[in-house]
Structure 1
Amino acid sequence: MSSRTVKSYRLPRLPPVLVAIAFGVLIGGLLVLFSGGDPISAYWQIVVGALAPRNWPDALNWAVPLVGMTLAASIPLRGGMVNLGGDGQLAVGGLVAAIVPLYVPGPAPFLIVLAIALAMVAAGLYASLAAVGQTRFGVPMLISSLLLSYPAIGITSYLVGFVVRDTSTGLAQTRLIPEGCRLMTIYGPLNIGVLSLILAIAVVLFIDRRSVSGYELRMRGLNARFTAYGGVNSNRQILTTIFASGAIAGLVGATVVLGTLYRFQDGALLTPAYTWSGLMAAMLARGEPLGAIAAGLFFAALQTGGFAMQRETQIPRVLTMVLQAVIILFLAIRHGVGRRTS
């Protein structure tokens, strides 16, 4: 009697990100249901609020800074580093971008370019302090980058509240930026600052996929010690990576100030929590730039839809933040369990 080989078939495994999103949607729906709401109606309003054509301009305008901060977070995360100082870097870049057209003479196009460039340099240099703290003094970047946000926020708050404050108002804010130095709008509230972000994305993707430094950064993310043994200058790599991350954050701050707020307002760049949403989106993609950008767009759509959900169903938009947190927590647990050894 001939023996038969029994073949076992397995169902294809879903990508972890999709499983995490489904799990987050389930938990969010249960929270809405237990609070007396209708989860189907809530999620429908999120979809409509994010994807309805009439809402595209606002959705894209919200997505630009969030995707920018996602890109800023993904650059160091690609190499196994975490930059938690995005808020401070945003504030530094935003204030510099506001001061340049207010106090530097020159033609408007030149001042716009100068403001954006100096905002990126200032934010990048400030972010580099965390890298210096780790490479020279052994202070973990996870701690120093976060702590450096507080003096940056405090100093910019003092300057805009006393030194460069618009004395015609009682608020802590600069004077309005001259109209000629504002970024031109191209679609509803969306301004041409999106073009500078697209350029930054293209540069980051090229470096990540096509350059030696991008390859070395990916290798560091897999095994930092092996990369150092391979001859990579670890200290210089950390410094340039964190500078680039901070420069992108400064670009985001300059874009919002020059193209949306038209002045620097104390706390206005921090209230939307672009830094933390961007960090979560970058973690969702595990630092891969293209995936991080997609995750940033997803989170932007989720948050934009949250406004419509709150308006139409009276369910607080904080639900969208709960969804983000649950998705990331699920992925963190999954990857953590996957690395456990018996």
Structure 2
Amino acid sequence: MEYPITRLRRLRSSEPMRSLVRETSLDPSAFIYPLFICPGEGVRNEIGSMPGIFNLSVDEALREAETAASLGIGGLLLFGLPETKDDEGAGAWADDGIVQRALREFKKSAALKKLLLIADVCLCEYTSHGHCGMVRKQGDSYEIENDSSVRLIARTALSLATAGADIVAPSDMMDGRVAAIRDELDEEGMEQTPVLSYASKFASAFYGPFREAADSAPQFGDRRSYQMDGGNLREAMREIELDLTEGADMILMKPAMPYLDVIRAARERFDVPIGAYQVSGEYSMLHAAFAKGWLEPQRAMMESLISIRRAGAGFIVTYFARDAAKVLG
């Protein structure tokens, strides 16, 4: 019997051998850990649809951040739950807003010096109607206004940068918001603050648990007039190109798993830092399978992350950040 000269299994014979030739790897410094910050003190309320994830008061969030830093995690993505909401989402840009307060406290901690603080820039958590922009109603119909929303989004980005955000990350998907944010920051002497644009954000069914966590579900209608249609890969490339032209420094793809092809297409076309957001639905459905004993938790978690990295994401926003960092140890 003749044997092949090329035997690919030779390089799979042991863990040291597999590690040596591994093409794609993970590192905690490339993980971004989302935190949901709420009013109060000593508050640590687990989110029902997201096991292990909590709404945290500023003091509890600080402790969580320090744990993340000790694990070598690269950064935090901060979301806020305000004490009150209104039609314009004024809590998003208030000097004493919940995320602004958290940023100032985090900046005081020596333990967080190497942890990037990324502030999500959107209005949905702060508006009484739950949409990411201003709503104009005409009888029984409504419209999410673009330009008036952009002005408030830029104001929010400036407020968060002033409070200490290392990076501002607009997630609203309004047209022109990156240019407006860049102009607002530059005019106020913050030209060194990078913009991480959610440049390709799809109207997805996988956001459900997040809307519980952030109390941000729309009170009427949906977000399909501003978030992208799931069938449109070419349009995603146009969105990214426009945001880069307007001054985005980095781009974020959202969701990750159902849109790995979009991540790959962006990586092949654009020579900029690209991240992907493993969103709440991706996290929660894996946990549901873990609870049933259908999947091995550690292996499934790490495999899901390596797939995103392999598709082309240089960094990953993930609720698994702490657990994965412990595995990578």
**TM-score between the two structures when normalised by the length of structure 2:** 0.29
Provide the TM-score with structure 1 as the length reference.
0.28
Structure number with higher relative contact order (C-alpha < 8 Å, ≥ 6 residues apart): 1
Structure showing the higher helix proportion among its residues? 1
Structure with greater proportional strand content = 2
